[in-house]
Structure 1
Amino acid sequence: MMEMAMLSVEEALERVLAYVPVLEPEEKPILEAQGQVLAEDIVAGFDIPRWPNSAMDGYAVRAADIRGASGESPRRLSVIGEVPAGRPADFQVGPGQAARIFTGAPIPAGADAVVPFELTDEMQNGRARRDEVLVFKELPPGANIRAAGEDVRAGTVVLRRGQVLGPAQLALLAAVGRPRVRVIRRPTVAVVATGNELVPPGEALGPGQLYDCNSYGVGAMVRRDGGIPWLLGIAPDDYEALAARLRTAMAADLVITTAGVSVGHFDLVKEVLAELGEVRFWSIRMKPGKPLAFGELIQRRPDGAVRRVPHLGLPGNPVSALVTYELFGRPAVLKLMGRTDFSRPVIEAVAAEDIPGDRRRVYARVIVRRRPDGGYVARLTGPQGSGILTSMALANGLAVVPEDSPGIRAGETVRVILLEWPDNEGVEWSQR
């Protein structure tokens, strides 16, 4: 295999995204589409609200009839009817008249304002008569009335192709009468752990063995990001066995392996990838995570069609696997789903202690907390070895130390990629 230059993080990510496609759309019930990307523009077929309606429980009145009303000089109106939500009024409000009305109910003809119950004698104890009402405050025309089309006008594009559907967007789809919607489908991501030393959790450990944690950490991150993890278990450090496992994995939209991408005798992933497809790069100037392979598995079908499946070969050390997934796997999964923004929030924090540097860019695992003045402070989660999984389990951010830097000194400012927004509750510096 030819030697490849070590890439910067930005160069590597650019190559990954260049070879990862956007998947085809599918139609789904709206509640099942949460977190997915719209594949169509949504146009409202009618005004929302469809008619003027009440924003309050109260009385529909003519504003002219309550001009000058006050607590000392209330206006007395005749109550001619009631308008509940979901039923239009079959009467008209004339001079000196009012109609009891409830939130969302259509405004009856003749009325141009709604007086809340709280501004009438409705709430007074012992009131038994309902044929009259006293109004204690003047209100202008249009008060407490939602105009037709106030929210959405018929013909308006309410949601655009490319938007991510959250709860508010799903509610809007329902409001315009859409029970189903076209979205970019979720990717299936095959996850294969490699290594003779690995054992599935729950089985007895033999000498020199350890539990496979990468499949579950990476699989959980895939699910977090909206993908469908397909755990294919553990592949031994055997060329033919690994090749067979990757051929199975080609049924997925993205293949992720862990371990087997360094330069050891048993590191076979790059060789198998070169046989089954093409290697695009396999080394990055970052710590942790220098050995990372990316390429395409090529599936040639009997009909002559060729299908290319992106393959991301993550390092085997657990922290390296999780950090490199965060920086490269997450953007790949999001792009497959049609997302265009792959960024995490980045803040500046004060380093609470020295953060060592390296010739490569360092992504140090840190706990970020808010300070009383509104700023942030970041402290290492503990020892930063790439096999120390607790350093990642305690982290809510990755502190970025530039290449060829001596490091960040305590008290200096450091850029932090936030994995979660800081929450001071339950996070103690002593958890190290």
Structure 2
Amino acid sequence: MTSVDEHRARVRALISDHWHPAPERVLLGAALGRILAADVTTPIDLPPFDNSQMDGYAVRADASSGALRVTGHIAAGDGIAAFEGGAVAIMTGAPLPRGADAVVPIEAVSDAGEFAPVGSEIRLREPVAAGTFVRAHGSDLVAGTVLLASGTRLGPPQLGALAAAGVIEVSVLTRPRVLIVSTGAELAAAGTPLAPGKIYDANSTSLAAAVTEAGAVALAATVDSDDPGHLRFALDSAGPVDLVITSGGVSVGAHEVVRDALEPLGLTFGAVAMQPGGPQGLGVATIAGRPTPVLAFPGNPVSVLVSFELFLRPLLRGPRPVQWAPLAISVDSPPAKHQVRRGRLDADGRVELVGGPSSHLIAAYAGSQALVHLPVGVARAEAGDLVELWRIDD
């Protein structure tokens, strides 16, 4: 029986041997979730000029106490003016006038928070130091330095930083095209009457969502047959893809359509020491005329998602956030297998298990916040024992 770590290494090697993403240029508005293919340097200083951190008065630190005449008024968006002495009313984000080097908050001058008119006089209670409440030119980043490194996933903060630097397009890695094929004669399409012995196909929907959320392009299909020829036809008809994921038909029963169709083509199948998701397959098949990696997951819906989380998601998007927390209750686990349970954190930060260990409990999975790991060698974990969690509620 293969360990989880061994199978994970095999999946990583399979994907890395066959998927070599090329760079492409995209506009910033289409770059959310994409991976940078090259470093991005900032073309300008950030911020591009000294500006006020708050509403107040721009002053010179060496002449910033006692009575000062109000000599001007500067709003955000105004040009950079010369400092004419005294105190200049200045708004948050407005450029500091040349010659001023500090800002006095409006609250330190007026209890009512009102600006004095130009030409009138204000009184400062005490001097301020140079640089007080000033966002210094280039204090975030200097022009020509790396703003974001190659390999960075572009989320809202990263896109905001690029926009602030005036960048309008970036070079990102092409997204892998992933064909998802849910198999089994028992499958029925949502929206159709459910005949006796049939179940609705959950796997094509959940896997497509998981693949999309991880940054790939999902193409989903259902093969509601145990005829290996039907599966091979579905694969041949799909067109070029970077990866195929199948669900179902990988065990040792009499109607294992994925195994029957793909084992003769070179895929290997076997048991991984995990629960759920023990039966697994992987290898390379020729699809649309080119060698294509294939991951064959089990058919039960929780097994499918757990397999995706353990073996593929880390390659597409990186590891899940990990934390450790105490169990709320004791739990048994098969010591020869890595058991993955589903759970939630209670108000005291303890892990409450949601549902049992069975691989069909998709509603319990949907109500969970985390995957709870009970590694090989653990036959029982007691209430209060720390367990490893992967948060899945991001």
Match of 1:93 among 84, 87, 92: 84
CA distance in 1, matches of 2:263, 2:296: 12
3-state SS of paired residue (1:386): coil
Structure 2 spans left out of the alignment, 5+ residues? none
Say yes or no: does 1:380 pair with 2:353.
Answer: yes
Say yes or no: does 1:369 pair with 2:346.
Answer: yes
The change in CA–CA distance for 1:215 and 1:57 in structure 2 (over 3 A counts) is same
Match of 1:247 among 208, 219, 236: 236
CA distance in 2, matches of 1:212, 1:177: 46
**Alpha-carbon shift at residue 155 of structure 1 (Å):** 1.6
Give the conservation status (yes or no) of the 8 Å contact 1:250–1:309: no
Say yes or no: does 1:323 pair with 2:296.
Answer: no
- AA paired with 1:377? R
Say yes or no: does 1:282 pair with 2:270.
Answer: yes
3-state SS of paired residue (1:292): strand
**After the TM superposition, which residues 37-186 of structure 1 pair with which residues of structure 2 at under 5 Å, given as runs?**
37-66=35-64, 69=65, 75-94=66-85, 97-121=86-110, 123=112, 129-137=117-125, 138-186=127-175
The change in CA–CA distance for 1:364 and 1:142 in structure 2 (over 3 A counts) is closer
CA distance in 1, matches of 2:275, 2:113: 71
The equivalent of 1:217 in structure 2 is: 206
Question: How big is each residue's C-alpha offset from its partner over 1:57-90, in whole Å with a ceiling of 9 and x where there is no partner?
Answer: 2222222322xx3xxxxx3322232222222244
Question: How big is each residue's C-alpha offset from its partner over 1:24-71, in whole Å with a ceiling of 9 and x where there is no partner?
Answer: 2221121321222111111122222222222222222222322xx3xx
- AA paired with 1:15? R
CA distance in 2, matches of 1:362, 1:78: 74
3-state SS of paired residue (2:286): strand
CA distance in 2, matches of 1:249, 1:292: 22
CA distance in 1, matches of 2:116, 2:4: 75
Question: How big is each residue's C-alpha offset from its partner over 1:300-348, in whole Å with a ceiling of 9 and x where there is no partner?
Answer: 64xxxxx3322111111122122112211323433xxxxxx43441414
**After the TM superposition, which residues 347-366 of structure 1 pair with which residues of structure 2 at under 5 Å, given as runs?**
347-366=324-343
**Alpha-carbon shift at residue 178 of structure 1 (Å):** 0.6
Give the conservation status (yes or no) of the 8 Å contact 2:235–2:287: no
CA distance in 2, matches of 1:78, 1:247: 81
CA distance in 1, matches of 2:30, 2:100: 42
The equivalent of 2:281 in structure 1 is: 293
CA distance in 2, matches of 1:59, 1:128: 10
The equivalent of 1:203 in structure 2 is: 192
The equivalent of 1:333 in structure 2 is: 316
CA distance in 2, matches of 1:417, 1:140: 48
Question: How big is each residue's C-alpha offset from its partner over 1:210-248, in whole Å with a ceiling of 9 and x where there is no partner?
Answer: 111111122222222222221112341111111011223
Match of 2:180 among 191, 196, 200: 191
**Alpha-carbon shift at residue 22 of structure 1 (Å):** 4.2
3-state SS of paired residue (1:282): strand
Length, aligned pairs only? 390
The change in CA–CA distance for 1:10 and 1:143 in structure 2 (over 3 A counts) is same
Match of 1:345 among 322, 326, 332: 322
The equivalent of 2:12 in structure 1 is: 17
The change in CA–CA distance for 1:344 and 1:10 in structure 2 (over 3 A counts) is farther
The change in CA–CA distance for 1:79 and 1:401 in structure 2 (over 3 A counts) is closer
- AA paired with 1:296? V
**Alpha-carbon shift at residue 360 of structure 1 (Å):** 2.1
- AA paired with 2:175? R
Q: Which moved more, 1:397-406 or 1:314-323?
A: 397-406
3-state SS of paired residue (1:141): coil
CA distance in 2, matches of 1:404, 1:62: 69
Give the conservation status (yes or no) of the 8 Å contact 2:284–2:291: yes
Give the conservation status (yes or no) of the 8 Å contact 2:269–2:279: no
3-state SS of paired residue (2:33): coil
**Alpha-carbon shift at residue 284 of structure 1 (Å):** 0.8
Q: Which moved more, 1:392-401 or 1:177-186?
A: 392-401
Structure 1 spans left out of the alignment, 5+ residues? 1-5, 70-74, 302-306, 335-340, 422-432
Give the conservation status (yes or no) of the 8 Å contact 1:59–1:116: yes
3-state SS of paired residue (1:414): strand
The equivalent of 2:257 in structure 1 is: 268
Match of 1:399 among 372, 379, 394: 372
The change in CA–CA distance for 1:321 and 1:129 in structure 2 (over 3 A counts) is closer
Match of 2:296 among 304, 313, 324: 313
The change in CA–CA distance for 1:60 and 1:18 in structure 2 (over 3 A counts) is same
- AA paired with 1:135? R
CA distance in 2, matches of 1:54, 1:124: 16
3-state SS of paired residue (1:103): coil
- AA paired with 2:246? T
Q: Which moved more, 1:267-276 or 1:147-156?
A: 267-276
The change in CA–CA distance for 1:43 and 1:263 in structure 2 (over 3 A counts) is same
